[in-house]
Amino acid sequence: MDAHEQADVSGDDREGRAALAQALRMESELRRVLESASTALWSAERAPAADALAGWEFRYVSPLLTNIAGRPIDRPFRWAEAIHAPDRNRYLRTIRGLLSSSEAETEQVYRVVAPGGAIRWVRDRLQVVRDSSGCPIRLTGSIVDVTRQRAIEHAVRQSERRFRALVEKGGDGIVLLDDGARVLYASPSVRTISGHDPTAIVGTDCCGYLSPENQTSARQLLRELLRRPGEDLPWRGRAHKADGAAQLLEVNACNRLADPSVRAIVLNYRDVTERNRLEDDLRQAAKMEAVGRLAGGIAHDFNNLLTVILGNLELVRGGVDGADADDLLASAETAARQAADLTRQMLGFARRQPLQPTVVDVNELVLEQLSLLRRTIDPRIAIEFEPDPDVNPVLADAVQVQQILMNLCLNARDAMPEGGTIAIEAWNAEVPPGAHIDGPGAEGYICLSVADSGQGMSDEVRAKVFEPFFTTKEIGRGTGLGLSMVYGVAKAHGGWVECHSVPGSGSRFDVYLPYAPPDLTPPPTAANPAAAQGQGQSILLADDEPFVRIMAEAGLIQNGFRVETVADGAAAVDAFRAAKQPFAAVVLDLTMPVMTGREAFEAIRTIDSNVPVLFASGYSTTEQRPDLPPGTAFLAKPYTPSQLATALLRILRARDDSDGGGI
């Protein structure tokens, strides 16, 4: 061989070795990739003349398969020895079926047991390669450890079963709605709660099952809920069952439309009809107990006021003359007004009547009350008050401020059973440091203070003095409402109350009320009743109380009116119809026999649609005044002749100003 030929051979040899080295590198790289994969791979070939399950030899087994099995795998079907016994026969049947059929692949999930007993779940994907005659010649497998996935799936199924049991077996109704309030799902408990078939209501408008008066508020709730994803909103209203019976529902609604696992508005609701009835019964029982306790305290206060009224009138009738008689009558009148104010105050406490604020001079208010207080309170107790001329007026309901003073003085009296001193003071107080005040109190406060020289209070008692019905007195001597009313009135005015007390050293209550705005002025002094003249106008007055008719008739005649009185609503209608000259106005008591004031008003207005009508009542105005018809007004009892005349002149003037229109 010449040199040239030797060179060619050497070149071919080098290229071959290079190709072999590259192939080995590729194989090594491929092996690293396969062995780092999360899937265990294996490959086996069938030996000539091998039967269906024997004579197969591995060509490749990834280390991961050995790790999964926990043992070496040297033959393909020795793998079956690692399979959990209950799953093994199913695995072998699957392979036999694959080899004997024309299928190319199959997949199954089963358990593998390691020598130590640990069980793992795997997903096995088998593929078969056949020769031209259809005979299997190669098997490949890919096995994935799905133990963690199976555990998660099992936990999810368990959780789903628990929540399904909670939803379907629980007592509360669960309803899912779309954004149009249509039912997407209703739990089986819906049938128990309402009688409606849970499957039959799917697709219907949920608000259609509510009482008509509650549907508007329910739709408002759903509209608000759509603007607040993820939030819960409560609702309470009435619905009707499948049999038509009414029920009270308590609902919690939550917007879960943005949650991909729910995508609905979730309603959780329950029937609280019976619970509400029991609560009403309990409240009624508590109310009756409170009324019983309250009656004793009110009777005590009224008896004091009636003592002043009856005693002073008896003295006047007995022949007291001159200035003394005038003083006694003035004192009786003040006590009577205080009794009327106390009645109004109690009605306001029971029915939460709105405040009637005016500009009040606290000095004058206290001075007006002193005479009544000194006649009401034990004479062994001295009452001291020195007016401060610099005290600013307050914007307040004068009657309720009087009640504050009365309650505080009576509380001080009870703290001094052996006598002592009550010191009343009023001064301009500064706005508390750091306080942010908007509205009442922006200008500042006055402090109305009532101090006693009594036994004082412990810290435990002082912490509870403003709680309703809390009292340290024995049964029958106090209701526990006096100081709670003081607290409530002060808060309603935009003020507050402070209590200072030391056992054995007396107590002091400081009530802070806001200044009246500087652009307001005190109300003018009441006009002389004689100035309210009726100029001969004819008035029809209906009231079932004879003493009220006598007083009202005398007062109206004194003020220049002509008056016809009747005792009930039906008589008022008859008198109005029979009158030769039309009445200028009608006064109707709201609660009369035969025909009520409202009924009489309706009948009279069919005769004359423009006649002014003044309603009067001794009941709470919040119950009697709503939606007063045009051309009418309301006067609360007790009233004086001058107040009645003034109210009539006001509605007559309003009629003239509007040419017969409403007031």
Q: Place 408 in a pLDDT band, splitting at 50, 70 and 90.
A: confident
* SS (HEC) of 210-264: ECHHHHHHHHHHHHHHHCCCCCEEEEEEEEECCCCCEEEEEEEEEEECCCCCCCE
pLDDT at 160: 66
- Range with the lowest mean pLDDT among 246-260, 478-492, 498-512? 478-492
Which range in 17-31, 162-176, 258-272 is most confidently predicted, on average pLDDT? 258-272
Q: Give the pLDDT of residue 495.
A: 87
- The residues with which 426 forms a beta bridge, in sequence order, are 448
pLDDT tens string 592-637: 888 999 999 999 999 998 899 999 887 654 444 446 778 888 888 8
The pair of structure tokens assigned to 454 is 């009594």
Q: Confidence class of residue 351 from pLDDT cuts 50, 70 and 90?
A: very low
Q: Taking residues 561-570, what's their average pLDDT?
A: 93
CA 52 to chain centre: 77
What pLDDT shows up at residue 531?
A: 40
pTM, full prediction = 0.39
Measured distance CA(200)–CA(195) in Å, rounded: 11
Q: Give the pLDDT confidence score for residue 565 in this predicted structure.
A: 94
Q: Where are the alpha helices (DSSP H) in 455-516?
A: 459-462, 482-492
Measured distance CA(523)–CA(420) in Å, rounded? 36
The stretch 546-574 carries a mean pLDDT of 89
Q: What's the rounded Cα separation, in Å, for the pair 70 and 118?
A: 9
pLDDT given at position 605: 92
**Which of 220-229, 255-264, 276-285, 587-596 has maximum average pLDDT?**
587-596
pLDDT band of 431, cuts 50, 70, 90: low
Provide mean pLDDT across the span 360-384.
83
pLDDT given at position 426:
92
Phi, psi of 61 (to 5 degrees): -140, 120
Supply 56's token pair.
């197969």
Contact yes or no for 639/616 (Cβ under 8 A): yes
In terms of pLDDT, which residue wins out, 478 or 492? 492
**Residue 510's pLDDT band (boundaries 50, 70, 90)?**
very high
Q: Has residue 247 got a pLDDT over 90?
A: no
Per-residue model confidence (pLDDT) at position 337: 76
283, 263 Cβ separation under 8 angstroms = no
Going by pLDDT thresholds of 50, 70 and 90, the confidence category of residue 662 is: very low
Q: Which pLDDT score, from 0 to 100, does residue 120 have?
A: 86
Picking from 215-229, 274-288, 568-582, which range would have the lowest pLDDT averaged per residue? 274-288
3-state helix, strand, coil in the chain (%, to 5): 45, 25, 30
- Highest mean pLDDT of the ranges 136-145, 435-444, 605-614, 617-626: 605-614
Q: Please state, as a whole number, how many other Cβ atoms lie within 10 Å of the Cβ of residue 600.
A: 27
Give tens-digit pLDDT for 483-496. Answer: 777 887 888 888 88
Minimum mean pLDDT among 165-174, 180-189, 495-504: which range? 165-174
Angle at 381 between CA 411 and CA 390, to 5 degrees: 75
pLDDT digits (tens, 9 = 90+) for 68-105: 777 776 655 567 778 888 988 888 888 888 888 888 88
Q: Among all chains, which residue has been given the structure tokens 């009343």?
A: 424
CA distance 307 to 310: 5
- Are 621 and 355 spatial neighbours (Cβ–Cβ below 8 Å)? no
Segment 127-149 shows an average pLDDT of: 84
The pLDDT value given to residue 321? 65
Bridge-partner residues for 83, per DSSP? 112
Q: Name the band, by pLDDT with cuts 50, 70 and 90, for residue 398.
A: confident
> Half-sphere exposure of 327 toward its Cβ, with a 13 Å CA cutoff?
8
Residue 249 one-letter amino acid: L
Element (H, E) at 254: strand 246-256
Question: Does residue 86 have a cis peptide bond before it, meaning omega lies within 30 degrees of 0?
Answer: no
Q: Report, as an integer, the average pLDDT of 184-206.
A: 86
pLDDT at 422: 92
Average pLDDT over residues 508-523: 76
Residue 388: which residues within 8 A CB-CB, separation 6 or more? 363, 425, 426, 427
For residue 45, what are the β-bridge partners?
57, 138
How far, in Å, CA of 366 to CA of 344, rounded? 19
The pairing of strands 381-385 and 358-360 is unpaired
- Look at 143-147, 390-394, 621-625 and tell me which has the smallest mean pLDDT: 621-625
- Cβ distance 493 to 355 under 8 Å? yes
pLDDT, position 266? 84
Quote the CA–CA distance of 15 and 23 in Å, as a whole number.
12
Mean pLDDT of 283-296: 57
Cα atoms found within 13 Å of the Cα of residue 254, Cβ hemisphere only: 14
d(CA 405, CA 367): 11
20-31: per-residue pLDDT in tens? 666 666 666 555
Mean pLDDT of 533-556: 86
pLDDT at 117 over 90: no
Give the pLDDT of residue 572.
94
The confidence score (pLDDT) of residue 291 equals: 54
- Average pLDDT value over all residues in the chain: 77
Is 111's pLDDT higher than 80? yes
**Residue pLDDT, tens place only, 291-332:** 555 555 566 667 767 777 777 787 777 776 666 777 778 877
Residue carrying the six token digits 């002043």: 308
Sheet with 632-636: strands ordered across: 562-566, 538-542, 585-589, 613-617, 632-636
Give the whole-angstrom CA distance, residue 596 versus residue 569.
6
